[in-house]
A and B are shown apart, each in its own frame.
Chain A
Amino acid sequence: MNYNWHWKVLLETEPGGTGTYLHYLIVGLGWTLATALAAWVIALAIGALVGTLRTTPIKWVVRAGNLYVEIFRNVPLIVQMFLWFFVFPEFLPKALGDWIKQMPPPWASYIPAVLCLGIFTSVRVAEQVRAGINSLPRGQRMAGTAMGLTEAQAYRYVILPQAFRIILPPLTSEFMNVIKNSSVALTIGLLELTGRARAMQEFSFRVFEAFTAATVIYLLTNLIVVLAMRALEKKVRVPGLIAAAGAPQAGH
């Protein structure tokens, strides 16, 4: 294949004049992480709540939880992005909708992106939390209530601490999914890492240098996340509690 590599392009100044292309991409990584982390906070909060509620014996709560999960699981992420960005402000009171639309960049795309990714991921977290709770022997809950704990206390002190330890590995891959999925935000104008690699390719005409650089940055980020989560797993491990290996799952 005849392609002339020109790696020095990374050290040339980008047209915006903020610094080198490499710096431009690193700032993109900053936006990727800022989006992913904020979305992850939302996803964990809603996901833990919805996932737990779906294991309670109250029928209508379970139904509502199922409905929430089905809605946000069956619409593609990019379509949800468009809904938050183009459609959602139209259904708000006019003044509020206009205020959102007129926020200075990048906030006008950052905030819808975070909301969208957070809720999209919360559904997947909810599924993991529910699976984690259901994987515990029923005796755990019964023993808890037999000792005089209320239902809520049994969740707080017996079920959830074990369930969260079990689902830590799948949650790690969900976190890496948020980082990857944040790239879809480029379609609503957020210049995160993939968006900046694409922009760099358009400015400099150096296609493969730009994408290789972005790929390497993603790989390094993944490596750091995996190492950090492994350390966390070690730290919270309860001696004697062996987490069952999860069944293979579909993913993207």
Chain B
Amino acid sequence: MVSGFDFDVIQRSWGYLFREGMTFTLTLTALAMAGGIVFGTLLAMMRLSSMKPVSMLAGAYVNLMRSIPLVLVIFWFFFLVPYIGAWVIGAKEPIKVGAFWSAAITFTMFEAAYYCEIMRAGIQSIPRGQVWSGYALGLDYWQTMARIVLPQAFRNMLPVLLTQTIILFQDTSLVYVISATDFLGAAAKVANRDYRLVEMYSFVAVVYFAVSYGLSALVRRLQERIAIIK
């Protein structure tokens, strides 16, 4: 079997796999990470709010997202985003949204729930005295959050946030279900066209492993450095 391994198919499709597929995967990961952390931090602040309706709304959103499978969320947004878009711009008919933007919105909204829980733990790890001294200095809520609490919370949670991002990087491969051309999608298209499933899927696994393992090794080193400083 292995003797019949056709390495040539990988070489032939190299440009397509990386220039199209990997670019899609990495752009999607970066966008969803940035959007997810911003939205997730807002959600965490809402969840910790003393206003009951606000914290309950954020809690309900986070629990809903964490209770249903990502594949189902991808389907939901794939069909929902055109309707929301039409509603936002006031169009009569659902608008057309490409697979990339649909996926970007999905992953931002979905990952925000997970980043929220991490940021919530991060904010709660900051002693209350920090908040009070902020108020005592005359800062308002937003200033205290932006200048005192969140910078420390981010720093404490950086390794977990990055680990979550590695998981996000792996999970973006699920856009396969809406036929998007991410790294896996590109490989699947080549695999089915040339009937080289064994070669392509093995290669995909090796690439994902190398990237994820390399990144998690970096996170571990970072964690050690932060731990020493603390």
Contacts and interface: CB of A to CB of B under 8 A. Distances in A.
Q: Do A and B come from one complex?
A: yes
A252 B68 contact: no
Contacts of A70: 213
B71 A183 contact: yes
A76 B69 contact: no
Given A74-B212, A248-B121, A250-B167, A183 B79 contact: no
A83 B173 CA distance: 14
B196 to A, nearest CB: 11
A119 to B, nearest CB: 13
B135 to A, nearest CB: 26
Contact of A184 (B122, B174, B202, B213): B174
A90 interface: yes
A87 B197 contact: yes
A86 B208 contact: no
Interface stretch (A17-25, A207-215, A228-236): A207-215
A1 interface: yes
B208 A187 contact: no
Contacts of B213: 70, 74
A180 interface: yes
A23 B92 CA distance: 34
A39 to B, nearest CB: 14
Nearest to B209: A74
B75 A194 contact: yes
Interface in B163-197: 163-164, 166-168, 170-171, 173-174, 176-177, 184, 188, 197
B70 to A, nearest CB: 7
Interface string B75-107: 110011001101100001000000000000000
Contacts of B86: 1
A102 interface: no
Contacts, number: 126
A82 interface: yes
Interface in B121-180: 121-122, 157, 160, 163-164, 166-168, 170-171, 173-174, 176-177
A251 B167 contact: yes
Interface string A70-99: 110111111110110011001100000000
B24 to A, nearest CB: 14
A219 interface: yes
B83 A187 contact: no
A159 interface: no
A78 B75 contact: no
Given A76-B170, A250-B118, A183 B69 contact: yes
B117 interface: yes
B216 A87 contact: no
Contacts of A3: 83
A90 B71 CA distance: 28
A83 B202 contact: yes
A75 B205 contact: yes
A214 B73 CA distance: 11
Given A82-B201, A91-B1, A183 B209 contact: no
B197 to A, nearest CB: 4
Interface in A198-237: 198, 201, 207-208, 211, 214-215, 218-219, 222
Nearest to A207: B79
A180 B69 contact: yes
B71 A184 contact: yes
B222 interface: no
A75 B201 contact: no
Given A87-B201, A248-B117, A215 B208 contact: no
Contact of B72 (A90, A208, A211, A251): A211
Contacts of A180: 67-70
A86 B92 CA distance: 44
Nearest to A82: B201
13 contacts: A71-B209, A74-B216, A79-B201, A82-B201, A82-B204, A176-B67, A182-B69, A197-B75, A201-B79, A214-B68, A248-B157, A249-B160, A252-B114
Given A183-B71, A211-B75, A252-B114, 8 more contacts: A1-B83, A1-B86, A75-B205, A82-B188, A87-B201, A90-B198, A214-B68, A250-B160
Interface of A: 1-3, 70-71, 73-80, 82-83, 86-87, 90-91, 176, 180-184, 186-187, 194, 197-198, 201, 207-208, 211, 214-215, 218-219, 222, 247-252
